Structure 1
Amino acid sequence: MQSVPAADFSLHSGEEQLALYHFNTEKIDHLFCRNCGIEPFARGSDGKGNEMVMLNVNCLEGAPPVDRSTISHWDGANF
Structure 2
Amino acid sequence: MKYQGSCHCGNVKFEAEGEITSAMSCNCSMCQRKGVLMWFVPRQNMHLLTPDDAASTYLFNKHLIKHRFCPTCGIAPYSEGTAPNGDAMAAINIRCIEGIDLESIPVTHYDGRAI
1:24 partnered with 2:52: no
Give the C-alpha shift of residue 8 in structure 1: 0.7
Distance (Å, rounded) in 1 between the aligned partners of 2:87 and 2:76: 21
Structure 1 stretch 45-54 or stretch 57-66: which is displaced more? 57-66
Give the C-alpha shift of residue 15 in structure 1: 3.9
- How do 1:1-79 residues align onto structure 2 when only pairs under 5 Å count? 1-13=38-50, 15-64=52-101
Unaligned runs of 5+ in 1: 67-79
Q: CA RMSD in A?
A: 1.7
Identity, % of aligned positions: 33
Q: Which runs of 4+ in 1 moved over 3 A?
A: 14-17
SS at match of 2:68: strand
Q: In the alignment, which residue of structure 1 is the partner of 2:31? A: none
Larger RCO: 1 or 2 (CA < 8 Å, sep 6+): 2
Unaligned runs of 5+ in 2: 1-37, 104-115
Which of the pair has more CA radius of gyration? 1
Distance (Å, rounded) in 2 between the aligned partners of 1:46 and 1:65: 25
Equivalent pairs counted in the alignment come to 66
| Greater fraction strand | 2
Quick check: 1:17–1:35 contact (8 Å CA) kept in 2?
A: no
SS at match of 1:58: helix
The alignment's TM-score, normalised by the length of structure 2, stands at 0.52
SS at match of 1:13: coil
